Structure 1
Amino acid sequence: MDLDNRRVRKRSLLLIEQRRKHNKSSLKKSGVDEEYGEKKNLMDESLELFDEEEQKKEDYKNKSGEERKHREDIRKRALANLTPTKSDEDLRKVSRKSTFVVTYLKEKTEAEIATKQEELTLKKEELKLERDRFELEKQERVQRLENEKQNNKMLMELLAKCLNKWN
């Protein structure tokens, strides 16, 4: 048997309808405990998923229909140059709310930027202090080496004098 999208869809819809009818008849029966097998559980899950998908499609259609009506209304008013109506006032309120949101987000972003700049400044200062500390340690090491060289030189001279006296 050849399978194609149409046949699979048709068979799935048939099985879903049969399960709906079975669920309706089992709801009418009162006090009857039914044992569900794996197939029935899967069909119930499929039925729920199918119903959810149908609800989403319906919601999307309603939403897009409302948006379309709203766009048409705006176009009509723009073309007719009508005076402001109540819906225009609603749009202004929405505009004010969106302006408030935009200003809030802008202030929040500016505050975050200022905080990051302060953090960067502190890091720079820490790095500078670390660099200065490193330089001081380097100078101390160089000074210590020079002192050791002088001490070794003096010690060598002393040893040479002592050797010359004994020879």
Structure 2
Amino acid sequence: MIDTEAQVVRTEASHAWVVIRPHTPCGNCDPQTGCRSVAISRMFGQAQQQYRVNNPLGAVEGEYVKVAVTERTLLQSALWAYGLPLVAIILGALLGRFLAPGVPLAEVVGAAIGFCGAFAWLRVTRHRIADRGPIIVSRHGRTPPPRGCSSAD
């Protein structure tokens, strides 16, 4: 399991929206800058992104929690997010070439249609995929737990 600390910002039915708590440097990270992968992701992301997670423990707004995801789920999500569009682009290009041989842009149009189809399918099914994803595994109350590296660093 990969876990990290977060704070619940709102709840809905069996899910909660959380903001991930920033990590501090530890013995396993670079002592000057902390976890480099977190620093890189912060460069390209918003200041505080909210994530929808399963909430079987009934955490409430303002509470600090530990959120975890299995390695298998993380790998499957990455394969869907990167693999499906790639396969759809290739199949779309091949289909464009097959249906319109000799037309210069047939492969490009087929690839674009394949990519758009994969993107639309992922948008429609994202909540089904997310329901097997991150889950709140423990509650810490309204006082933040001590800082340190977790297995997510």
- Taking structure 2 as the reference length, the TM-score comes to 0.26
Query: As a proportion of its length, which structure holds more helix?
Result: 1
Instruction: Give the number of the structure with larger relative contact order, counting CA–CA contacts within 8 Å between residues 6 or more apart.
Output: 2
More strand by share: 2
What TM-score does the superposition give when structure 1 sets the normalisation length?
A: 0.24
